[in-house]
Structure 1
Amino acid sequence: MDRLLAYDSEGKGQKTVVLLHGFCENRTMWRHLVPVLTAQYRVVNIDLGGFGQSAHLLPPVVTMDTLAAQVLALLQSLNVHTCTVLGHSLGGYVALAMAAQHPTLLEGLGLVHSSALPDSAPRQAIRNRIVSIVRQRGVTPFAHHFVQALFLAERLPELAEAINEAKTMALHTPQKSLIEVTLAMRERPDRSELLQQLSCPVLFLIGKQDPAIPMSQYLPQIVLPKDAHIHLLDHTAHMGTWERPQKTSAILQHFVHYCQTGKVL
Structure 2
Amino acid sequence: MVLSPPTIQYSFTSCSWDHFNKKFFLKQKKLVVEKIILYQNKKIFYRNIGSGDPLMLVHGFGEDGNVWDKQVEYLKSKYHLIVPDLPGSGKSEMIDDMTMQGMAEVLHSIIHEENIDKCTVIGHSMGGYITLALVESYWNHVNAFGLFHSSAFADTEEKKETRKKGIEFIKQHGAFEFLKTSTPNLFSPNSKLQIPDSIDQFINSLKDFTPEALIAYYEAMMSRPDRTSILKNTKSPVLFVAGEHDVAIPLDDVLKQCHLPEKSYFHILKNSGHMGMIEETQNANRILEEFLLAK
Q: Does TM, normalized by the shorter one, top 0.5?
A: yes
Provide the rounded CA distance (Å) in 2 between the counterparts of 1:153 and 1:164.
14
- Identify which of structures 1 and 2 has the higher relative contact order when contacts are C-alpha pairs closer than 8 Å and 6+ apart: 1
How do 1:50-89 and structure 2 match up within 5 A? 50-54=88-92, 56=93, 58-89=94-125
What is the Cα deviation at residue 219 of structure 1? 2.3
Among residues 262, 268, 283, which one is paired with 1:226 in the alignment? 262
8 Å CA contact 2:87, 2:98 repeated in 1 = no
Among residues 131, 136, 154, which one is paired with 1:118 in the alignment? 154
8 Å CA contact 1:83, 1:105 repeated in 2 = yes
Q: Hey, what does 1:6 align to over in structure 2?
A: 45
Aligned positions, number:
256
Q: Deviations over 1:125-146 (max 9, x none)?
A: 1110110100111113211111
What TM-score comes out, normalization by structure 2 length? 0.84
Among residues 148, 152, 164, which one is paired with 1:128 in the alignment? 164
Q: Hey, what does 1:16 align to over in structure 2?
A: 54
Provide the rounded CA distance (Å) in 1 between the counterparts of 2:108 and 2:141.
9
Structure 2 unaligned runs (5+)?
1-19, 23-37
Q: Hey, what does 1:262 align to over in structure 2?
A: none
Higher-Rg structure is 2
Q: Normalized per residue, which structure has more strand?
A: 2
Q: Normalized per residue, which structure has more helix?
A: 1
How do 1:1-265 and structure 2 match up within 5 A? 1=20, 2=22, 3-4=38-39, 5-13=44-52, 15-54=53-92, 56=93, 58-259=94-295
Provide the rounded CA distance (Å) in 1 between the counterparts of 2:162 and 2:173.
16
Q: More deviation in 138-147 or 153-162?
A: 153-162
Provide the rounded CA distance (Å) in 2 between the counterparts of 1:27 and 1:165.
15
Q: Deviations over 1:36-60 (max 9, x none)?
A: 2222211111111110011x2x121
Determine what percentage of the aligned residue pairs are the same residue: 30
Q: Deviations over 1:78-99 (max 9, x none)?
A: 1012000011111111111100
Structure 1 unaligned runs (5+)?
260-265
Provide the rounded CA distance (Å) in 2 between the counterparts of 1:164 and 1:186.
28
- Secondary structure, in 3 states, of the residue corresponding to 1:23? coil
Q: More deviation in 124-133 or 168-177?
A: 168-177
Provide the rounded CA distance (Å) in 1 between the counterparts of 2:276 and 2:95.
28
- Secondary structure, in 3 states, of the residue corresponding to 2:107? helix
What is the Cα deviation at residue 249 of structure 1? 0.9
8 Å CA contact 2:97, 2:103 repeated in 1 = no
Amino acid at match of 1:68: A
8 Å CA contact 2:176, 2:208 repeated in 1 = no
Q: More deviation in 181-190 or 1-10?
A: 1-10
8 Å CA contact 1:36, 1:253 repeated in 2 = no
Provide the rounded CA distance (Å) in 2 between the counterparts of 1:30 and 1:154.
21
- Secondary structure, in 3 states, of the residue corresponding to 1:132? helix
8 Å CA contact 1:147, 1:166 repeated in 2 = no
8 Å CA contact 2:245, 2:271 repeated in 1 = yes
Q: Deviations over 1:207-248 (max 9, x none)?
A: 011001112212221110000100011121100011101110
What do you get for the CA RMSD once the two structures are aligned?
1.2
What is the Cα deviation at residue 257 of structure 1? 1.4
Provide the rounded CA distance (Å) in 1 between the counterparts of 2:90 and 2:219.
19
- Secondary structure, in 3 states, of the residue corresponding to 1:129? helix
- Secondary structure, in 3 states, of the residue corresponding to 1:235? coil
